[in-house]
C-alpha cells in the first residue's frame, strides 16, 4: 500500500500526469470521431449534432438518451468508454478525446489553473444532508467512531479527487492538523472495502453510489460526508471546452436543454424516479438516481463555485485570485438562469 504525503503539490503533479497520459492516448486513438466542426462561425441549428461523452458520471445523460430528450433536441451521443474518475473526464476534454464530460468543481478549477480552458454549463447533481456525494466509511463496531479518531491513522482518500477535502477541512475547523492523517490511495473500490473490513485502514472515503452499496452490505457506517464538512450543495457539473462553446454554442444549448428536460422528468413524479433508477441500473449496473433540484433551480451556483475556490486557495492548491468563478462556469445556455 503506497503512502501519499499530504502536500498539496501532489495535486499539480497528478493533474499534469493525467493530462500527459490523456494527450498521449488521444493521439493514438483510432476510434474517436472528430469533434464538431469547430471552424463554423454559425452552426446549422436544424442539423443533428454528435457530442462525444465518456461513460463516467453520466447518469443524467443515460436517462436523457433513453427517454429521447437528446433526440428531441437533435443531439446524438457518441459514447467513448469509461474514464478512471471525474478529473480524468476533464483531462479527456482538454486532450480532445471528448466534447463534454461531468466532474467535480475542483477538477475544473485545477484545470483552469493548469491552462486547460473548460467550463461548467449545467450541474450534474446536488449534495445535501439527505444525499451527499462523498462519505467517510468506518467499521460499524470499530474503534474509530468520529472524524477526530482518524488522526494518526491510515485513511484511503486522494488529493487527486474530491474525497480528500472533507476530512481535511473538517479537521482544520476543529483545530486539528490533517497532516497527522496518513492518507493512502487504493483506486479500486473493491480493494478499498476489503482493506477497511480487514482492518488495514481506519476509514475509506467513497463517492456515491458506491458508498451506499458498501453500507448496504452491512457492518460499515459513515462518520462524515462532504456536505457535513463543507456545506456545499453543488459538487460539480457538465463541462465543455471554451473553444467548443465558442464554435458550437447551439450544440451546447441543445445539450443543456436536454439535461434540464431530464431533470424535470425525474423530479416530476416518484414513478419517473423509479423509471430513471431502472435506466441508470441498466446502463451502469448500479441502481440510483442523482440528488437533484427542480429544473428551474438547476443552474450553476456562483456561490458554491466561490466556496470551492476558497477551499483550494486555503489549502495551497491555487494562489489567491488565480482562478475566478467566471473562469469556471457559465449559465449562458441555461434558460432558467437570471439574465
Q: What angle do CA 146, 194, 6 make, to 5 degrees?
A: 55
What are the beta bridge partners of residue 329? 120
Give the model's pLDDT for residue 46: 62
Cell numbers placing 307: 466556496
Give the model's pLDDT for residue 203: 98
Is it the case that residue 268 has pLDDT exceeding 50? yes
Is it the case that residue 227 has pLDDT exceeding 80? yes
- CA dist 15 → 56, 187, 330 (Å): 18, 15, 23
Does residue 209 have a cis peptide bond before it, meaning omega lies within 30 degrees of 0?
Answer: yes
pLDDT digits (tens, 9 = 90+) for 131-143: 888 999 999 999 9
| Domain 134-230, CATH homologous superfamily name and number | Periplasmic binding protein-like II (3.40.190.10)
Identify the band that residue 284 occupies on the pLDDT scale cut at 50, 70 and 90: confident
Rounded to a whole number of angstroms, the CA Rg of the chain reads 20
Give the model's pLDDT for residue 10: 39
Contacts of residue 189, Cβ cutoff 8 Å, sequence gap at least 6: 206, 210, 214
- CA dist 97 → 39, 250, 301 (Å): 18, 20, 27
Cell numbers placing 71: 433526440
Average pLDDT of the chain? 86
Are 78 and 50 a contacting pair, CB within 8 Å? yes
Is it the case that residue 41 has pLDDT exceeding 60? no
Q: Which of the listed CATH numbers 3.30.1490.190, 3.40.190.10, 3.90.340.10, 3.30.2320.20 matches domain 9-22+45-124+233-328?
A: 3.40.190.10
Q: What angle do CA 127, 132, 135 make, to 5 degrees?
A: 145
Is it the case that residue 32 has pLDDT exceeding 90? no
- What are the DSSP calls for 277-335, one per residue? HHHHHHHHS---------GGG-S--HHHHHHHHHHHHHTTSS-TTSS-HHHHB--TT-T
Is it the case that residue 85 has pLDDT exceeding 90? no
Residue range 73-98: mean pLDDT, rounded: 91
What are the beta bridge partners of residue 135? 206, 225
Helix (H) or strand (E) holding 187: none
Same fold, 9-22+45-124+233-328 and 134-230: yes
Give the model's pLDDT for residue 40: 40
For residue 52, the SS3 value is: strand
Is it the case that residue 91 has pLDDT exceeding 50? yes
pLDDT digits (tens, 9 = 90+) for 296-313: 999 999 999 999 999 999
Domain boundary assignment for the chain: 9-22+45-124+233-328, 134-230
Give the model's pLDDT for residue 290: 79
Contacts of residue 270, Cβ cutoff 8 Å, sequence gap at least 6: none
d(CA 98, CA 51): 8
Give which of 96, 64, 60 is closest to 80, Cα–Cα.
96
d(CA 69, CA 88): 26
pLDDT digits (tens, 9 = 90+) for 44-61: 456 889 999 999 889 999
Amino acid at each position: 500500500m503506497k503512502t501519499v504525503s499530504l502536500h498539496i503539490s501532489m495535486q499539480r503533479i497528478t493533474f499534469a500526469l493525467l493530462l500527459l497520459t490523456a494527450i498521449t492516448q488521444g493521439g493514438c486513438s483510432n476510434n474517436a470521431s472528430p469533434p464538431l466542426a469547430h471552424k463554423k462561425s454559425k452552426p446549422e441549428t436544424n442539423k443533428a449534432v454528435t457530442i462525444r461523452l465518456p461513460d463516467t458520471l453520466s447518469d443524467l445523460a443515460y436517462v436523457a438518451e433513453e427517454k429521447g430528450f437528446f433526440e428531441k433536441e437533435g443531439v446524438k451521443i457518441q459514447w467513448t468508454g469509461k474514464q478512471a474518475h471525474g478529473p480524468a473526464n476533464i483531462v479527456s476534454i482538454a486532450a480532445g478525446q471528448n466534447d463534454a464530460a461531468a466532474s467535480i468543481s475542483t477538477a475544473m478549477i485545477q484545470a483552469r489553473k493548469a491552462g486547460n480552458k473548460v467550463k461548467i454549463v449545467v450541474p450534474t447533481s446536488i449534495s445535501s444532508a439527505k444525499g451527499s456525494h462523498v462519505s467517510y466509511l468506518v467499521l460499524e463496531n470499530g474503534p474509530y467512531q468520529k472524524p477526530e479518531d482518524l488522526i494518526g491513522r491510515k485513511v484511503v482518500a486522494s488529493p487527486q479527487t474530491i474525497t480528500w477535502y472533507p476530512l481535511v477541512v473538517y479537521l482544520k475547523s476543529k483545530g486539528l492538523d490533517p497532516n497527522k492523517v496518513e492518507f493512502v490511495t487504493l483506486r479500486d473500490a473493491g480493494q478499498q472495502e476489503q482493506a477497511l473490513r480487514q482492518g488495514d485502514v481506519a476509514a475509506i472515503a467513497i463517492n456515491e453510489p458506491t458508498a451506499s452499496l458498501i453500507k448496504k452490505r452491512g457492518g460499515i457506517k459513515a462518520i462524515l460526508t462532504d456536505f457535513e464538512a463543507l456545506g456545499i450543495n453543488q459538487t460539480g457539473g457538465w463541462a465543455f471546452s471554451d473553444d467548443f462553446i465558442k464554435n458550437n454554442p447551439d450544440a451546447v444549448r441543445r445539450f443543456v436543454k436536454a439535461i434540464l428536460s431530464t431533470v424535470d422528468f425525474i423530479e416530476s413524479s416518484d414513478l419517473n424516479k423509479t423509471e430513471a433508477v431502472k435506466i441508470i441500473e441498466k446502463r451502469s449496473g448500479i441502481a440510483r438516481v442523482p440528488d437533484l433540484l427542480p429544473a428551474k433551480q438547476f443552474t450553476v451556483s456562483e456561490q458554491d463555485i466561490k466556496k470551492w475556490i476558497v477551499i483550494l486557495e486555503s489549502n495551497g492548491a491555487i494562489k489567491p485570485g488565480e482562478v475566478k468563478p467566471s473562469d469556471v462556469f457559465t449559465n449562458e445556455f441555461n434558460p432558467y438562469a437570471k439574465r
